[in-house]
A and B are shown apart, each in its own frame.
Chain A
């Protein structure tokens, strides 16, 4: 699995005059739906059957190359257990993109995903790009959430939507690429809310927002 060549349309690394954009992306969703697995697949091209549960949050970065820009994702992978909910705003506030993940073999996780979308629409920056990922598509035999149902919901709410599998890598890079394409790449970094300056966590601010194109 390629680690650095995730873009569909690539550019040799270090090509001059490429615009570099940094975006903060957060993963949300019920516990064990495969958030960490998706990130691990995207960033390192690996899949661990026994991926440890996430406590608090984990941070990873990955770069994708589009035609004229290099997009660097700063990814916050959050804890899924409902109890850790109170930490979530710290991570999604100031994020320019979010992937809300559910498990296609578990209807409850889809319900939880919808709640996350609602919360993001209410609390996160208004211009945030939200993608919905129906993960574990390799377990189609045990499907409990229909593709059409999720697609319809995504359309209604203007979300990107894909069914993914961290295990087989299906659609994993694609969903990140789709987000990268949709993100505004103007000089100001798309004007995502709450950018700039180092701020304190105690105020419930983002750990660090960076939405600048250099």
Chain B
């Protein structure tokens, strides 16, 4: 028995959802949602229920031909299978456990309706759990299946007549108790006669007694102690309203219960893991739910010809054709041997990772994320560790972030995302308080968008998904009155709903935290300047990291306004399918709000060869209908780009980031200027750190005169006026510049172009004085550690050497610095000059 418990932790059963006759359409012209999809959506709530007397649901799977497979925990044997008779003391205890479970369900407005001796499980310790108690709930009172649910013997009279409410469970419970006391009822009768018998009870004064008599058990019934008879009779009242409630039953049974629950020692090791984790690992280790069902003959394969209908009517209804049983009461148990074997070498110590222990490095970490996600052992360690960290959230937030940077176990992605977004506090009651029902003018648009939003996803395409998405959108709009509904907000919300399908409040809290961080002001009624700035910045990043491609795209006038709005407005959630968005956002949430700009560049980079060889039409076609993008690669590249770029070049005005305080970090320029510049500007401090690390090559394009007066050390002078526009060759710049630039390109240095805006030329001179000061000071102090000098003491220099009155000039009017990536190509030479686009062309 003990063995048994350990070997089989979960089992599956299967049934068919109802077929819609023919290809009927809903009122909106769209096809009706298949019943199986409705069932999947409905069943999600069951997956998160946890109660000691309920078998945890683990998975609901939709297969071909509307087949549904339900996977859930199992223990011991069903009451039906147990041969031994129970003492009255034991019966009270069993009854109490069942009543506890049903009380819990009723509190959640879930009616069992199918309670019977084959779905009440009991193990050798006397622990009772209900199995598959959600049939009625997931099939919407049996409406989504074509077979009657439940076993007639346990039906209450009103169930037979009209379906019955929660109190029907009380009746069934009464019958269970009665059977436990006196024996199985109506043993040799077919369902029809049983139903008739139950209906005739309507006239009986005492239904329990009458049933006992009918089954020749009256003598045994008389010997049942009064306290039990009393309870049974309170359950078997004909009028539902007269029956006891489970709340009452629980308290009565608790008083009677003498058997104290033996405190079973908590199982340690693998079998002590959370069941959802076990099931997940079991699948990774090769466990196959369907294969097992086939082996157990619960799924039978017959040649398709046998299941073909004999005739199909014009309205699509079919006649004839053999279909398998719609519902099979049997269950298939799954052995965990394979998983145990797979993880057998793991030491018991590893099951309890300690916070401050040094983490082991696993070989798998070098593999691509998609492979790591399928590696049993790797996931095992990750899951245990993340579970540990999540328990300590929010105190462990920094650890979680650091670990999430490596990867996020798919099973815990919803929890980890919420942690990364800083979601905490009483989100349920906050969400509860928001009015999600009152109609608003926006509903019309939301209603037409939701049935088009990620509908390939089983969760989002069902009715439950549609309703939840609408509630989330309405709640968000109401909470953020400064924002309006832009098409695309639906797609943006979808990943959060997908990961938190049964935890709408958390989905909402995540969205609520995500938008200010990544899409600050994008959903303003007038968001044009926000979007324009974003796109301009994106284009500059493309120029920085993909100069050759950017030049080509500039030339053919392929501008981001034409294709990239949905990319950024929805953070790619309108562009990619969910499984790709998840990986993209994993990185986004860790890296922060500049990453998306580089992700955009990453996508272009993947299309690079095609784009380079295409004209405007082909390019725009390609971006309208993106080919397969390798998201893993794209994420990797974009993180590299993001980290290797000087921070200031991706600076945006419209963010929620703390404002720049240090003048040397400042790169604010007027919008119009931003839109006209191809290359990004760099802040003084970023520039200095490039200089100090000898990672840049400075090209000063002011006039010779100004350059002679003062300049940045090591810069070369290529007076702008001396260069012929349209010259695309480095040679045209003169011999020395050619040599210096080629060398810089070879060493992958960043090219910084320094210039002075005309109108501020004189002031700039003064500013250059500041530079000379820097230089002279350096000479005089002759400190060897230059880097430290520039990085840390910059402020001191400013303060020490420039009188306070003129400092503001220093901040505003300075070298105009623009950077280009080190991968400068010859064709790019014209972009060396920070000219407005028109002139450059």
Partners in one complex: yes
A202 at the interface (CB under 8 A from B): yes
Q: Summarize A's interface: helix, strand, loop or mixed.
A: loop
> Which of A124-132, A135-143, A176-184 makes up part of the contact surface?
A135-143
A31-B445, A139-B29, A200-B837 are known contacts. Are A50 and B565 too (CB-CB below 8 A)? no
Among candidates A49, A50, A55, A138, residue contacting B570 with C-beta atoms closer than 8 Å: A55
A81 adjacent to B452 (CB under 8 Å): no
For B563, the chain A residues whose CB sits under 8 A away are 56, 59
Give the interface size class of chain B. Answer: 35 or more
- Chain A CB count within 10 A is highest, among B29, B561, B837, for B29
| A139 to B574 alpha-carbon distance, docked (Å) | 28
Nearest chain B CB to A43 CB, angstrom units: 10
For B566, the chain A residues whose CB sits under 8 A away are 55-56
B557 adjacent to A56 (CB under 8 Å): no
A52-B452, A139-B29, A207-B559 are known contacts. Are A59 and B624 too (CB-CB below 8 A)? yes
Please count the residue pairs between chain A and chain B whose beta carbons lie under 8 angstroms apart in the complex. Answer: 96
> Which of B112-120, B255-263, B358-366, B615-623 makes up part of the contact surface?
B615-623
For B29, the chain A residues whose CB sits under 8 A away are 105, 136, 138-139, 167
| A54 to B445 alpha-carbon distance, docked (Å) | 13
Contact with A along B540-564 (1 / 0, CB 8 A): 0000000000000000110101110
Contact with B along A104-132 (1 / 0, CB 8 A): 01000000000000000000000000000
B528 at the interface (CB under 8 A from A): yes
> Which of B36-44, B87-95, B284-292, B482-490 makes up part of the contact surface?
B482-490
Nearest chain B CB to A152 CB, angstrom units: 26
Nearest chain A CB to B64 CB, angstrom units: 20
B616 adjacent to A86 (CB under 8 Å): no
A84 adjacent to B617 (CB under 8 Å): no
A83 adjacent to B486 (CB under 8 Å): yes
B617 adjacent to A202 (CB under 8 Å): no
| A167 to B566 alpha-carbon distance, docked (Å) | 26
For B188, the chain A residues whose CB sits under 8 A away are none
B574 adjacent to A83 (CB under 8 Å): no
List the A residue with the shortest CB-CB distance to B616.
A208
B449 at the interface (CB under 8 A from A): yes
List the A residue with the shortest CB-CB distance to B27.
A142
Residues of B448-507 whose CB lies within 8 A of A: 448-449, 451-453, 455-456, 461, 484-488, 490-491
Residues of B600-621 whose CB lies within 8 A of A: 616-617, 620-621
A51 at the interface (CB under 8 A from B): yes
A55 adjacent to B569 (CB under 8 Å): yes
B378 at the interface (CB under 8 A from A): no
List the B residue with the shortest CB-CB distance to A74.
B617
A2 at the interface (CB under 8 A from B): no
B30 at the interface (CB under 8 A from A): yes
Among candidates B27, B487, B490, B557, residue contacting A79 with C-beta atoms closer than 8 Å: B487
List the B residue with the shortest CB-CB distance to A90.
B561
A4 at the interface (CB under 8 A from B): no
| A207 to B565 alpha-carbon distance, docked (Å) | 14
B31 at the interface (CB under 8 A from A): yes
Contact with A along B760-783 (1 / 0, CB 8 A): 000000000000000000000000
| A45 to B491 alpha-carbon distance, docked (Å) | 26
For B616, the chain A residues whose CB sits under 8 A away are 208
| A167 to B31 alpha-carbon distance, docked (Å) | 12
List the B residue with the shortest CB-CB distance to A108.
B444
B8 at the interface (CB under 8 A from A): no
A1 at the interface (CB under 8 A from B): no
A66 at the interface (CB under 8 A from B): no
A53 at the interface (CB under 8 A from B): yes
B449 adjacent to A53 (CB under 8 Å): yes
List the A residue with the shortest CB-CB distance to B615.
A208
For B31, the chain A residues whose CB sits under 8 A away are 49
A81 adjacent to B445 (CB under 8 Å): yes
A55 adjacent to B565 (CB under 8 Å): yes
Nearest chain A CB to B213 CB, angstrom units: 59
For A142, the chain B residues whose CB sits under 8 A away are 27
Nearest chain B CB to A4 CB, angstrom units: 15
A60 at the interface (CB under 8 A from B): yes
List the B residue with the shortest CB-CB distance to A34.
B29
| A208 to B445 alpha-carbon distance, docked (Å) | 30
Among candidates B461, B487, B490, residue contacting A83 with C-beta atoms closer than 8 Å: B487
| A197 to B174 alpha-carbon distance, docked (Å) | 86
| A136 to B484 alpha-carbon distance, docked (Å) | 29
A198 adjacent to B557 (CB under 8 Å): yes
For A87, the chain B residues whose CB sits under 8 A away are 565
| A60 to B30 alpha-carbon distance, docked (Å) | 25
List the A residue with the shortest CB-CB distance to B563.
A56
| A55 to B624 alpha-carbon distance, docked (Å) | 11
| A133 to B80 alpha-carbon distance, docked (Å) | 66
For B561, the chain A residues whose CB sits under 8 A away are 56, 90, 201, 207
Residues of A164-214 whose CB lies within 8 A of B: 167, 198-202, 207-208
| A61 to B455 alpha-carbon distance, docked (Å) | 26
A50 adjacent to B456 (CB under 8 Å): yes
B487 adjacent to A50 (CB under 8 Å): no
- Nearest first, the 10 closest Cβ-Cβ pairs linking A and B are A32-B448, A50-B455, A56-B565, A55-B566, A59-B620, A58-B624, A81-B487, A198-B557, A55-B488, A59-B624
Additional A-B contacts beyond A52-B453, A59-B621 (18; CB < 8 A): A32-B452, A49-B31, A50-B451, A50-B452, A53-B449, A55-B570, A56-B561, A59-B562, A59-B620, A59-B624, A60-B621, A61-B621, A80-B487, A81-B487, A83-B486, A139-B29, A200-B837, A201-B559
Interface residue ranges, A against B (CB under 8 Å) = 31-32, 49-61, 74, 79-81, 83-84, 86-87, 90, 105, 136, 138-139, 142, 167, 198-202, 207-208
Interface residue ranges, B against A (CB under 8 Å) = 27, 29-31, 445, 448-449, 451-453, 455-456, 461, 484-488, 490-491, 525, 528, 556-557, 559, 561-563, 565-566, 569-570, 574, 616-617, 620-621, 624-625, 675, 837-838
Instruction: Provide a sorted-by-A list of 15 A–B residue pairs whose CB atoms are within 8 angstroms.
Output: A31-B445, A49-B31, A49-B455, A50-B456, A51-B452, A55-B487, A59-B563, A59-B621, A86-B528, A136-B29, A200-B838, A201-B559, A201-B561, A202-B675, A207-B561
